[in-house]
Amino acid sequence: MDAVTFSAHGDRDVIEYGEYPDPTVGDDEVLVDVKAGALNHLDVWTRGGLPTIDLELPHVPGSDGAGVVEAVGDDVTRFDVGDRVAVTAGVSCGECEFCRDGDPTRCVSYHILGEHVPGVHAEQAAVPEDNLIPVPDGVDWTVAGSTSLVFQTAWRMLVDRADLGPSESILVLGASGGVGHAAVQIADYVGAEVYATGSTEAKLEAARDYGADHVCNYEDANFAEWIRAETGKRGVDVVVDHVGAATWRDSIKSLAKGGRLVTCGGTSGPNPETDIPRIFWNQLQIIGSTMATPGQVDDVMELVWDGTFEPAIREVLPMSETARAHELLEEREGFGKVVVVPDSEL
Q: Cα separations (Å) of 217 from 90, 195, 288, 342?
A: 34, 11, 26, 36
Q: Give the model's confidence band at 197: pLDDT under 50 very low, under 70 low, under 90 confident, else very high.
A: very high
Lowest-confidence region among 13-17, 60-64, 79-83, 91-95: 91-95
CA-closest candidate to residue 34, choices 3, 75, 57: 3
Question: pLDDT at position 124, please?
Answer: 98
Q: Compare 170 and 55 and report the one with higher pLDDT.
A: 170
Q: Give the model's confidence band at 51: pLDDT under 50 very low, under 70 low, under 90 confident, else very high.
A: low
The model's pLDDT over 18-48, given as tens digits with 9 standing for 90+, comes to 999 999 999 999 999 999 999 999 999 999 9
Q: How far apart are CA 336 and CA 125, in angstroms?
A: 25
Q: In the chain, where do the E strands start and end?
A: 2-6, 15-19, 29-38, 64-72, 84-87, 90-91, 111-112, 124-128, 132-134, 169-172, 193-198, 214-217, 236-240, 255-263, 285-288, 313-318, 337-341
Question: pLDDT at position 52, please?
Answer: 67
Lowest-confidence region among 182-186, 255-259, 273-277: 273-277
Helix/strand number for the chain, H first, E second? 11, 17
CA neighbours closer than 13 Å in the CB half-sphere of residue 127:
37
Angle, CA 277 vertex, CA 273 and CA 279 arms, to 5°:
80
- The percentage of residues in the chain with a pLDDT greater than 90, rounded to a whole number, is 92
Contacts of 242 (CB under 8 A, 6+ apart): 173, 174, 177, 179, 180, 263, 264, 265, 266, 267
Extents of the domains making up the chain: 2-147+311-345, 151-288
Contacts of 257 (CB under 8 A, 6+ apart): 235, 282, 283, 284
Q: Cα separations (Å) of 11 from 2, 60, 331?
A: 21, 16, 13
Q: Give the model's confidence band at 269: pLDDT under 50 very low, under 70 low, under 90 confident, else very high.
A: confident
- The CATH number of the structural domain formed by 151-288 is 3.40.50.720
What fold does the segment set 2-147+311-345 form as a domain? Quinone Oxidoreductase; Chain A, domain 1 (3.90.180)
Q: Give the model's confidence band at 267: pLDDT under 50 very low, under 70 low, under 90 confident, else very high.
A: confident
For 205, list phi and psi in degrees, rounded to 5.
Answer: -65, -40
The model's pLDDT over 152-186, given as tens digits with 9 standing for 90+, comes to 999 999 999 999 999 999 999 999 999 999 999 99
Say if residue 225's pLDDT is above 70. Answer: yes
Q: Cα separations (Å) of 322 from 121, 179, 202, 331, 332?
A: 9, 20, 24, 14, 15
Tell me whether the CATH fold assigned to 2-147+311-345 matches the one assigned to 151-288: no
- Asked if 197 and 221 touch (Cβ cutoff 8 Å), the reply is no
| Rounded average pLDDT over 267-275 | 87
Say if residue 254's pLDDT is above 90. Answer: yes
